[in-house]
Amino acid sequence: MKTTIVGAGAIGGVIGAFLAKAGYEVEFVDVNEEHVKAMKESGLTIREKDSTFTVPVQAYTVKELAEKGEALEEVFLCVKALHTSEAVRDIKDLLTEQSYIVSFQNGLCEYEIAEEIGLDRTVGCFINLFADYQEPGLIEYGGVGSLYIGEVEGGISSRVERIVNKLSVWGEAKATENILGYLWGKLSYGAVLTATATTNETIADILDDPGYFDLIVNTANEVLQVAVKKGIVPEGFDDWEPRVILSKEPDQIRKQLSILTERLRNYTKTRTGIWRDLAVRKRKTEVPEQLNPVILEGEKSGFEMPITTKIVTMIQEIEQGTRQMQTENLDELKVAFIH
């Protein structure tokens, strides 16, 4: 079965390159014409901390894929959350009744995909992978994380098992009956990471600073309280443990954050992709698409979401050039919780 990677950036580039290297039939699709051209001419290069490899690949622009007109079988959707609906519509006519899309994205994009093609053709995915698109044809792979595949409505189907088996050439991919638990666990971590992106400090330095301990805990708990209210059990991953955050036991939380910080200091990627979008690429982030659905669900459940709401506002102000990236932003977030 051919795998079509839609979005050959950080996540799609890494996952697809490992599949291609292992001999699987893979094709890459991206809106970045220079990136597609480089992949066609010189292959796709993955640069890791201690090694680099280049693999020849098939690569197409969205227009070229449409002109080719071949039916798609298995699609790994790896675009930013804000491009989800557009990306699905671009390939929708090439899908068959047996085709399915796996959401290798941040947020709750599975539901947006399902609105276009139905939940029966949508597969859930949790991925925590540190990588960055550097230039056409080159992805920097800065830290191995976790990857879980599962049906959105629960259960482990034969297609989930097939996908997990294929992804074993990348690393330790796993099947789960609680994919929503992982997605909400990641959303709580993602809210914290997004807060760090309002500064120029590294993630590890912020998490390691006692002055931000309460802010980190309160930010994560805002998201986690919504998941719990919805009857979802948030899952932990890569030394981020929602159950410890929810325990409200300061000593346990400090110990766990120390373990997480030590892991992060071993990564070559020290800041978030959101920070890179703001500070380097000077482009819109996917933060509103990730966190606004959480805020909406919180409001439905009767929770106020002052920190999460303020984080989204701050990111948008930085995008618009009306706010600077600085640690004082974190002090504002502390006040947002108090009020």
Q: Are 55 and 116 in contact (CB under 8 A)?
A: no
pLDDT surpasses 90 at 268: no
Residue 337 — pLDDT band, cuts 50, 70, 90? confident
pLDDT surpasses 70 at 338: no
Beta bridge partners of 139: 46, 133
If you average pLDDT over residues 9-13, what whole number do you get?
96
pLDDT surpasses 70 at 339: no
Per cent of the chain over pLDDT 90 is 92
If you average pLDDT over residues 13-35, what whole number do you get?
98
C-alpha 251 chain-centroid distance: 29
CB atoms within 10 A of CB 204: 19
Residue 175's H or E segment, with its range, is: strand 173-175
Which pLDDT does position 280 carry in this prediction? 92
Q: Which domains does the chain have, with CATH numbers?
A: 3-177 (3.40.50.720), 181-338 (1.10.1040.10)
Could you report the per-residue pLDDT of 86-125, keeping only the tens digit for each?
A: 999 999 999 999 999 999 999 999 999 999 999 999 999 9
pLDDT surpasses 80 at 300: yes
Could you report the per-residue pLDDT of 105-116, keeping only the tens digit for each?
A: 999 999 999 999
Q: Work out the mean pLDDT of the chain and round it to a whole number.
A: 95
Residue-wise over 212-226: b if at least 16 C-beta within 10 A, else e?
beebbbbbbbbbbbb
Which pLDDT does position 49 carry in this prediction? 81
pLDDT surpasses 90 at 66: yes
Provide the token pair at 213: 């301990």
Could you report the per-residue pLDDT of 144-196, keeping only the tens digit for each?
A: 789 999 999 998 999 999 999 999 999 999 999 999 999 999 999 999 999 99
Spatial neighbors of 67 by CB under 8 A, at least 6 apart, are none
Which pLDDT does position 86 carry in this prediction? 97
Could you report the per-residue pLDDT of 196-211, keeping only the tens digit for each?
A: 999 999 999 999 999 9
Say what angle helices 213-229 and 328-338 make with each other, to 10 degrees.
50
Of the two residues 281 and 21, the one the predictor is more confident about is: 21
Beta strands 130-135; 138-143: pairing state: antiparallel
Could you report the per-residue pLDDT of 131-150, keeping only the tens digit for each?
A: 889 999 999 998 678 999 99
Beta bridge partners of 59: 28
Residue 129 — pLDDT band, cuts 50, 70, 90? confident
In a 3-state reduction of DSSP, which class is residue 118? coil
Instruction: Report, in this order, helix, strand and coil percent for the chain, each rounded to 5.
Output: 50, 20, 30
In a 3-state reduction of DSSP, which class is residue 8? coil
Of the two residues 241 and 130, the one the predictor is more confident about is: 241
Which pLDDT does position 142 carry in this prediction? 81
pLDDT surpasses 70 at 316: yes
Cα–Cα distances (Å) from 244 to 122, 144, 227, in that order, read 31, 23, 15
Could you report the per-residue pLDDT of 284-295, keeping only the tens digit for each?
A: 999 999 999 999
CB atoms within 10 A of CB 182: 27
Cα separation of 16 and 131, whole Å? 13
Say what angle helices 306-320 and 328-338 make with each other, to 10 degrees.
150
